[in-house]
Amino acid sequence: MKMDIMTIKEVANYLKMTEKTIYRLAKERKIPSFKVGGNWRFKKEAIDEWIERNMHNETTERKKTK
């Protein structure tokens, strides 16, 4: 099983967000992350699952407001 580990910069590029936003989300535990030697790291698989969950939640919320 291959496990891709990403940095803040890589996640920011992947999600097309700023590094500052990714840092804030990690610090607030709103995105799956962990620290290695004081530096934030992210499993690509966990980020992909997080995206899917959030897409599902957003779709559900839209249906509730209609």
The pLDDT tens digits for 16-61 are 999 999 999 999 999 999 999 999 999 999 999 999 998 877 655 5
Angle formed by the axes of helices 44-65 and 8-15, nearest 10°: 40
Q: How much is the pTM?
A: 0.80
Calpha distance 37→58 (Å, rounded): 34
Q: How far is CA 64 from the centre of its chain?
A: 25
What CATH number labels 5-65? 1.10.1660
Is the pLDDT assigned to residue 1 strictly greater than 90? no
Q: What is the pLDDT of residue 23?
A: 97
More confident site: 3 or 11: 11
Q: What is the pLDDT of residue 62?
A: 57
Backbone angles phi, psi at 16, to 5 degrees: 55, 50
